[in-house]
Amino acid sequence: MNFLKSVLFVSLLISCSSSLFAQVEIKNPQWHFVDRAIIPAPTDKMPEYAKLLYANSVNMKDLEKAFTAYYDERGWKHVKEDLEHDPFAKFHHLWLEGAVHYVNDNGVVRVMNANEIQKIKARNESFVVKKAQPGSRGANSSWSFIGPRRTVWEEEDIASQPPAPWQVNVYSIAVAPTNPSILFCGSETGELYKTTDKGVNWNPQLDYNWGGAILAIAISPDNADVVYVSASNSIVKTTDGGVTWNIVYDEAALSCNAIAISPTDPNTVVIAAGTGLIKTTDGGANWATIINDNFMYDVQFRPGDGTTIYALGKGNNSSTYSFFKSTDSGTNFSLSMTGWPNL
């Protein structure tokens, strides 16, 4: 009989716990500074710090303490990985970005009604107008979300590929040296965008199938219509500002991480890729490998100098990097430094 009572008591506790947690899910706080689409449904397995975000008020010190305790135990090396794959980590990150504008003197952020929100917005706008001078960063500039807003999980992660509204990353961006109103940006989801009004409006470049994450973009130093883009295993080029695109280099497992155009000769282009450092001197018609069998992370020309090139690659093992330098436009490279730690 006592055993039966114990079983019933445990069952009752489980039932009550589930019921209480279900109430939390129903009563999700309406944070006005967070898009509801990115707020995941709470679960009993979510981190302790994330649970604090489902209350109607959050003490920032308590949140920081819980977050620190979680990663002290889990390991801080997992922070970046969690931002990519854990919806609660992403929710926490975006919540902090918005909450910082609504912290009271006691370090508390709470759900507000519409009148309270309007008063704070009016106060902030008044502060910006009074403090910022014409031409300063504060007076004539503002930031707003322009997209893309939603994407899906990669197929190898989740076969059904459901929407992942918190997982849209811009991997590359470039500003035209001859016209700062023109920018290109490339996303993790393989979308290339162009703006001609300093980011007020962005237009997707839809006439070409980019085929993979866009890791690098470079715009010619003397012609904003000439652009090189790294997409999948190809280097793609436009000479008409993005109206048409053509593959100028293609190699299996290319994985181009950076593109650098000579500041003195726009036909000289160097790319840092998984297969090495590769160079063209005729605008992409012909290419030659100048550092072979080395995974290259980055490449840059010295500003105003077309003869000096710096490149960063993987070292002899997984825990070191190699820094290369050329003073003859890439004909020869010397190993400038070795053994950089893998941070």
Q: What whole-number distance in Å separates Cα of residue 27 and Cα of residue 21? A: 10
Q: What whole-number distance in Å separates Cα of residue 265 and Cα of residue 272? A: 18
What does the pLDDT read at residue 180? Answer: 93
Q: What whole-number distance in Å separates Cα of residue 299 and Cα of residue 313? A: 9
Q: Is the pLDDT of residue 254 over 70?
A: yes
For residue 291, which phi and psi values (nearest 5 degrees)? -130, 120
Q: What whole-number distance in Å separates Cα of residue 222 and Cα of residue 267? A: 10
Q: What whole-number distance in Å separates Cα of residue 99 and Cα of residue 111? A: 10
| Most confident by average pLDDT, 61-75, 161-175, 196-210 | 61-75
Q: Is the pLDDT of residue 283 over 90?
A: yes
Positive or negative CA dihedral for 198, 202, 207, 213? Answer: positive
Q: pLDDT: is 143 or 276 the higher one?
A: 276
Hey, what are 78's tokens?
Answer: 């997992």
- Contact 163/122 with Cβ under 8 angstroms? no
Of 202, 203, 239, residue with least CA distance to 219: 239
What does the pLDDT read at residue 252? Answer: 85
Q: Is the pLDDT of residue 285 over 60?
A: yes
Lowest mean pLDDT among 11-20, 205-214, 292-301: 11-20
Confidence of residue 264 (pLDDT cuts 50, 70, 90): very high
Q: What whole-number distance in Å separates Cα of residue 228 and Cα of residue 245? A: 9
Hey, what are 197's tokens?
Answer: 């009004």
Of 184, 180, 263, 264, residue with least CA distance to 231: 184
Return the SS3 of 174: strand
Q: pLDDT: is 1 or 216 the higher one?
A: 216
Following CA atoms 55, 85, 202, 204 in sequence, which dihedral angle do they give, to the nearest 10 degrees? -140
- Contact 258/298 with Cβ under 8 angstroms? yes
Confidence of residue 117 (pLDDT cuts 50, 70, 90): confident
Lowest mean pLDDT among 253-257, 317-321, 331-335: 317-321
What does the pLDDT read at residue 288? Answer: 95
Q: What whole-number distance in Å separates Cα of residue 168 and Cα of residue 164? A: 8
Collect all residues with Cβ–Cβ distance below 8 Å to 146 and sequence separation of at least 6: 199, 202
Residue entry with tokens 């219509």: 225
Q: Strands of 205-283 (E only): list them.
A: 214-219, 227-231, 234-238, 246-250, 256-261, 269-273, 276-280
Q: pLDDT: is 145 or 191 the higher one?
A: 191
What does the pLDDT read at residue 319? Answer: 62
Collect all residues with Cβ–Cβ distance below 8 Å to 19 and sequence separation of at least 6: none
- Contact 217/211 with Cβ under 8 angstroms? no
What does the pLDDT read at residue 20? Answer: 40
Exposed/middle/buried for residue 185 (C-beta within 10 Å: 0-12, 13-18, 19+): buried
Confidence of residue 22 (pLDDT cuts 50, 70, 90): very low
Lowest mean pLDDT among 24-33, 61-70, 92-101, 128-137: 128-137
Q: pLDDT: is 329 or 190 the higher one?
A: 329
What does the pLDDT read at residue 125? Answer: 52
For residue 180, whether the previous peptide bond is cis, meaning omega lies within 30 degrees of 0, is no
Hey, what are 43's tokens?
Answer: 């679960």
End-to-end CA distance of the chain: 61
Q: Give tens-digit pLDDT for 48-95.
A: 999 999 999 999 999 999 999 999 998 888 887 888 788 999 889 888
What does the pLDDT read at residue 342? Answer: 53
What does the pLDDT read at residue 228? Answer: 98
Hey, what are 100's tokens?
Answer: 């910082």
Once rounded to an integer, what is the mean pLDDT over residues 262-285?
Answer: 95
Confidence of residue 256 (pLDDT cuts 50, 70, 90): very high
Return the SS3 of 276: strand
Q: pLDDT: is 135 or 122 the higher one?
A: 122
Exposed/middle/buried for residue 90 (C-beta within 10 Å: 0-12, 13-18, 19+): buried
Q: How large a percentage of the chain has pLDDT more than 90?
A: 40
What does the pLDDT read at residue 15? Answer: 44
What does the pLDDT read at residue 83? Answer: 82
